[in-house]
Chains A and B, each alone.
Chain A
Amino acid sequence: MTSIELSGVQKYFGAVQVIKDMNLKIDNGEFIVLLGQSGCGKTTTLRAIGGLETIDEGDILIDGEPVQHLKAADRDIAMVFQSFSLYPHMTVFENVAFPLRATRTPRPEIDSRVREVARILQINHLLDKRPSALSGGDMQRVAIGRALVRKPKAMLMDEPIGALDAKLREEMRAEIKRLHLKQGSTTIYVTHDQIEAMSLADRIVIMHEGKLQQVGSPTDVYAHPSNLFVAQFVGSPVMNIADAEIRQVKGGASVALGGEDFDFPDKLIRQLDGAGAGKSLTIALGVRPEAVLVAHEQLSGYLPAEAHLIEPLGSYDIVDLNVGSQLLRARTRSGFVSRPGDKLWARIDPAQAHFFDKASGRSLGVRL
């Protein structure tokens, strides 16, 4: 049973603050992914938990005990990195057995534990080989095996599959997920790849410039981003963001984008008022391409639009639409819009619209 908690963690590299007041509780058995661009502080956070970096303020608790003063070796946490860092002169067996030998575990136990881990990772047939004879995927399996063999309290992984080619990355990602399901050990995983994060995590922790932006399930982070950064970081193609003017009109609300008024339900006004969005606030509307609805004929609530560019991506198309002076990217069925310049009709699905305070970037929490 391992829970991990960060409480008020601050970390500086010289004058640069790389972790800003980080608070996070990780439950036993959870798979947590730290997601962000390079330089956002995710790796530093991971290394601080593992004991490879000190912190300047705050507490890191493992099972309720502060560990920030403990050496890495005393925290009983295993780490896996992008570079495999295997010992080239040792066999796979010796590499996996290394952490056990270092702690003077009895021979028969070493043998049985290495074989058990090798079975789980399907590297039994490689035990007598040297790392130089292995493929990238197998080397990473061995590195994971070496981490697992100690039965650590938690696994920390820093872009473990980032160096592999696309196909192998996909395979290894599935394996890491299955391994977690089987072992159930608390795992913290760092990546900049949002698909990887969405596919692996129980909860995603999104970081930007040393600050935690949002913690939530993949569905939550995608469907209810807490600010503009998260909204534009998660999801591809990127969410449309546009300045919006919102007015109450008879029987509902009107959202003006690029000089065109979209009809929205009355609830919008109430929820914006509830969120404390006064008149002075500049509001940014966010809408994902799949929530820009496109039609060939005029339907209720649809506004005239013109196709500007079409990107056929095989199973679907991304169509750039001009609605008034606003450019909106829409996801359509493949071949739905035949050519640039076509006259169409477009609407924004209110249930999938997001409203942000443009100045602070924070979501106003509207759910229609």
Chain B
Amino acid sequence: MAHIQLKNITKTFGRHTALKDLNLDIEDGQFFVLLGETGAGKTTTLRLIAGLERPTSGQIFIDGVDVADWGTAERDVALVLQQYSLYPRYTVKENLEFPLKSKLRRVPDGEIKERVAKAAKTLRIEHLLERKTDRLSGGEMQRVSIGRAIVRKPRVFLMDEPLSALDAKLRESLRTELKDLQRRLGATFLFVTHDQIEAMSMGDMVGVLNHGRLVQTGSPKDIYDNPRDTFVASFVGSPPMNLIQGKLSKGRAVFAAKVFELPYDGAAKAGVTTDDRPLTFGIRPEDVALEADGPVEARVHDVENHGVEKIVTLKVGDATLRATAPARMPLEIDQDVRFGWNPQKVALFDRATGVSLRHAV
């Protein structure tokens, strides 16, 4: 159980700034996901909280206490990494017992037994307890690593891309297992990933990191519906949000040197008063509709078939747009189609700064 706060954390490695003025508030019992590309500073954040690195400036609080002088053991956090780091010659049971057998902890034998049994049950690995870890599948190994964290009853679970090395199907099922586990334990999870699907599907809150800066924090829905800038807009969502340069003119969105335009009357609501301001228009593929009487003609460039639906890449002049289409809609490459958009769902970004006008107001 823990409430974690990072205040104005900056971390530099030589001349490289890994984290810049980071503020983070993770509530007790929350599943918090830090999302970012490689090198964004996600792992550094985890290591700072775990006490494996010291911040260059700023403070870290666990349950309101500044932990600057606390060692890793005192912070009592559990780290689960992408690499399983299990003891290969030990059985699953021995691996689970190991953290409790440390002289520092002095956990009585009876309790060790109890905690291991409970963790095994929670993770559904009871049938594997006597097996050596080198005889396990990737998913089983990751469950055991998580089990090793659970038995310690740490204040907080720090997870660094624990699912990234697994294949797609396994990742899909472990995603829900992990989320379910966190809810049952009621524990605080800080989960780090570069995979936006993991972030969206598991997080109560998601923080998006870009080059060491926290760009946006919010619920998955909030981040998806209302991205703070074009970075978040194009990073969260698969396929990503369409971003097209254009400007407003007399209640219409005009794109790419007037190659095409679409109706847009939300300017007043969005706080844009002037026409002709250079903008980037954002629209999610599910809000672009292929329809026979749509206002704009486009050519089908590619069709990605997901079975349940199709994702169509459209070309209008040099501009590329993605739209989702029903699975049964017949679509051929180089076919001419017409499309429109849902003006209610359009996001406007300042072209120079990339910041959403909604957030700038």
Contacts and interface: CB of A to CB of B under 8 A. Distances in A.
Interface stretch (A61-69, A82-90, A311-319): A311-319
Contacts of A70: none
Interface string B143-178: 000000000000000000000000011001101100
Contact of B180 (A173, A237, A309, A315): A309
Contacts of B61: none
Contacts of B284: 314-315
B36 interface: no
A274 interface: no
A199 B303 contact: yes
B179 A309 contact: yes
B76 to A, nearest CB: 28
Given A312-B224, A314-B200, A334-B221, A195 B285 contact: no
B333 interface: yes
Contacts of A219: 327
A115 interface: no
Nearest to B219: A312
Given A170-B302, A173-B302, A177-B333, A235 B307 contact: yes
A313 B172 contact: no
A118 to B, nearest CB: 21
Interface in B58-82: none
B307 A222 contact: yes
A280 interface: no
Contacts of A238: 169, 172-173
Contacts of B91: none
A315 B285 contact: yes
B308 interface: yes
B176 A320 contact: yes
B304 A195 contact: yes
Interface residues of A, number: 33
Given A173-B302, A290-B308, A313 B221 contact: no
Given A174-B301, A235-B307, A315 B324 contact: yes
B197 interface: yes
A350 B220 CA distance: 33
B237 interface: yes
Given A170-B302, A174-B302, A236-B172, A314 B308 contact: no
Contacts of A234: 307
A315 B287 CA distance: 9
A334 B224 CA distance: 11
A114 interface: no
Interface string B300-324: 0111111110000100000000001
A174 B304 CA distance: 9
B184 to A, nearest CB: 11
A168 to B, nearest CB: 13
A235 to B, nearest CB: 5
A315 B308 CA distance: 13
A195 B183 contact: no
A288 B220 CA distance: 24
A289 B305 CA distance: 17
Contacts of B21: none
Given A195-B304, A236-B172, A340-B183, A312 B220 contact: yes
27 contacts: A170-B304, A174-B302, A174-B333, A181-B334, A195-B304, A199-B302, A199-B304, A199-B305, A219-B327, A236-B168, A238-B169, A288-B307, A288-B308, A289-B308, A308-B180, A309-B179, A309-B180, A311-B200, A312-B200, A312-B201, A313-B201, A314-B236, A314-B237, A314-B284, A315-B284, A335-B221, A340-B183
Those 6 A-B pairs whose CB atoms lie nearest each other, nearest first: A311-B201, A174-B302, A198-B305, A222-B307, A315-B286, A314-B224
